[in-house]
Chains A and B, each alone.
Chain A
């Protein structure tokens, strides 16, 4: 199979990930749930995973790295910690439903800082304009899951710091691909999946918590600490980690994180961008295909959308699937991003790469697509 759907989940993982998961199932129980060897091995693995993520994201305290089920879970905790019904929240024009649906459910007043694709200066200007004294929180993804647009989160973070508005960064598409420094950014939260660019298994996610936010619980239950009291502990990570941990997942995530640290985030990004550029240039030679990318792939990571004139994107996706080429079609759970880019009616076909893809796979995809669109 040629797998170009890594923005949903990376499918090819380092071999160490499955091995770590199997080892966890054989040797680990629950961290913080006993003093026996199986519990302490689990605690050691969980702590090491927190510590390595903390180092990767410039955080001094590993306890502020919270394990979640996925990025959506992490974003829900972050949003529901900061936003109350009726609060004004400024978001970018490229947010996922993982952001917009919790805000809608809360009844927040949503202000969209909209800007055209791949034009970070204009997006920044929109944020400057939309962040008012009434703004309760700002939420922005680092990279659009539909178009790969790298948003100017460092500059947005600087505006938020100067105006004292908490910032939530959705790093779903940038984790493991672009660097982020929690301390430098001063963000309230950064949410990310474990199963995309960090190469962990599905069922893993991470919430990085800034120091000063009072976090609200989504779940209450056992934490292996302060068991006598009926309120959840007020310290991290226990406050946000009720119930038994996904130890095979965390062990796999640790193996994935070690893979990207060894390989280097910059190298992975370079490889994905080279493949994206190759695909974009190839797609541009096909009559009727519209590619959403700037020349030289300016301000774009390893995600690429395209449409074909008078062709249903679903039809293209199905034809490629028949040739064992996995892409994602439709709205990608991000109708707001499609509205901002003007593709809400058609949707797009999305290619998204990982460190395991090759130029040969891109050529084979282009050949298959040309045949389909002939």
Chain B
């Protein structure tokens, strides 16, 4: 199923993102980042529905929670998108 993965710089920031998105009614989950997506070594991602990207980015910007990277998962592949 298509979705976006927002990479956070740490589990704490992923949790802050999750709380911030939750407050605005955006459902999301935290997972470990797939190894192929990041050269950081260890990272966490926040997964959101495709339709939620724009409001999610607005919310994160308002809370000064900058994503490290954002990926679209589509047809079995990840593709980086610019915020």
Contact = CB atoms under 8 A, between A and B. Distances in A.
A227 B31 contact: no
A314 interface: no
B10 A227 contact: no
Given A31-B11, A43-B11, A63-B13, A226 B41 contact: yes
A296 interface: no
B16 A35 contact: no
A96 to B, nearest CB: 30
Contacts of A47: 11-12, 15-16
A226 B68 CA distance: 11
A233 B32 contact: no
Given A34-B32, A35-B31, A40-B30, A225 B9 contact: yes
B10 A238 contact: yes
A228 interface: yes
B43 to A, nearest CB: 7
A191 B16 CA distance: 23
B39 interface: yes
Interface residues of B, number: 17
Contact of A233 (B10, B19, B44): B10
Nearest to A239: B10
Contact of B10 (A32, A34, A35, A50): A32
A62 interface: yes
B42 interface: yes
B12 A63 contact: yes
B15 A43 contact: yes
B40 interface: yes
Interface residues of A, number: 25
A227 B42 CA distance: 6
A282 interface: no
Contacts of A235: 9-10, 13
A40 B12 CA distance: 11
21 contacts: A31-B11, A32-B44, A35-B32, A35-B44, A40-B30, A43-B15, A44-B15, A46-B12, A47-B12, A63-B10, A63-B13, A63-B16, A224-B11, A224-B42, A225-B40, A225-B42, A226-B42, A228-B39, A235-B10, A237-B12, A238-B10
Contacts of B10: 32, 63, 223-225, 233, 235, 238
Contact of B41 (A40, A46, A228): A228
A50 B12 contact: yes
Contacts of B44: 32, 35
Contacts of B41: 225-229
Interface in A205-257: 223-229, 233, 235, 237-238
A223 B31 CA distance: 17
Nearest to B42: A227
B11 A225 contact: yes
Contacts of A224: 10-11, 42
Given A224-B42, A233-B10, 10 more contacts: A31-B11, A32-B11, A35-B44, A51-B19, A226-B9, A226-B40, A226-B42, A226-B43, A228-B39, A238-B10
Contacts of B42: 32, 224-227
**Most chain-B Cβ atoms within 10 A of its Cβ — which of A61, A225, A229?**
A225
Contacts of A50: 12
Contacts of A63: 10, 12-13, 16
Interface in A5-40: 31-32, 34-35, 40
A32 B9 CA distance: 11
A51 B22 CA distance: 15
A223 B12 CA distance: 11
A238 B15 CA distance: 14
A243 to B, nearest CB: 15
Nearest to A47: B15
B23 to A, nearest CB: 12
Nearest to A51: B19
A233 B12 contact: no
Interface in B32-49: 32, 39-44
B45 to A, nearest CB: 10
